[in-house]
Amino acid sequence: MRKFAIVLTSLASLGVVASAQAQQGPSANDVAGYVALSGTPVGAMTPVVTSAMLGRIAKGYSIVGQYGHVSDNALGYNSFGASVSMPVSGFSLGGSFGFMSPSAQGSKSNMMLGLNAETNLGAWALSDGKNANLFTLSGRGDFGWANPQDLGLLSFSASAPFALVIKNGSMTWAPFVTPGLGWGRVSPTGNPSVSGTRFMMGGGIGMTHANGWGASLGMQKVFIDQGKAVFGLNLSYGI
């Protein structure tokens, strides 16, 4: 109970609200995992359609602009970010930089940083021919960091994105789902760190053009009792 109270008090600046009795709601570890994942690029942004999801091997740099939104008077926020990735030995390695702006009155914006790695694990043609539609499976890992108002947030996640790749002339469409597991740690100034794991799920639909431009609409949810989903828009080039 003491640890739970410390976490709730320390996270009040982010608008986290939980039951006063830990046994009737999320534990201190559950709350810590949720806050750390949701407060870093791992959970504050929505998934992006990548070369790996499309069954391609990345051949050059790609850039992505991201926007995420959670609608809630107490827990809501807007997040803005940009990421760059490059191909390395069959993997796409990337880094991201962003800001989170909480909706609660008096809350301050803070910076977020992230790293990621992704590779395609398989692509299966659904018909014959060069332009056959595909079902793809990828593996992805993400790292996130943020430091909002006397809190240190650190997070990791592993996910297995799968997508249906539909080719139509110069356009490619890809509805996708990204189930995963995340770990997060909250380090309040002057108090012990608390960490926990949470299941995550993302999904959406993306499109890319032969000229390299693309866009995707999607959502990302870190699971916890009464937790909110992030909805967002991503614009990309080079995927």
Q: How much is the average pLDDT of 171-184? A: 97
> Residue 168: exposed, middle, or buried by beta-carbon count in 10 A (0-12, 13-18, 19+)?
exposed
pLDDT of 112-170, one tens digit each?
999 999 999 999 999 888 889 999 999 999 999 999 888 899 999 999 999 999 999 89
| pLDDT value of residue 23 | 52
Ranges assigned E (strand) in 31-109: 62-70, 77-88, 91-102
What is the pTM assigned to this prediction? 0.87
Residue 30, CA distances (Å) to 9, 18, 99, 194 in order = 15, 11, 24, 9
Q: How far is CA 23 from CA 1, 40, 196, in A?
A: 9, 27, 16
Q: Are 206 and 198 in contact, with CB atoms under 8 Å apart?
A: no
Q: Which pLDDT score is estimated for 139?
A: 97
Q: What is the pLDDT of residue 10?
A: 46
pLDDT, position 105: 75
Place of tokens 């009155």: 105
Mean pLDDT calculated for residue range 63-77: 89
Is the pLDDT at 87 greater than 90, yes or no?
yes
Mean pLDDT estimate for the chain? 89
Q: Is the pLDDT of residue 96 over 80?
A: yes
* Total Cβ atoms within 10 A of residue 237: 15
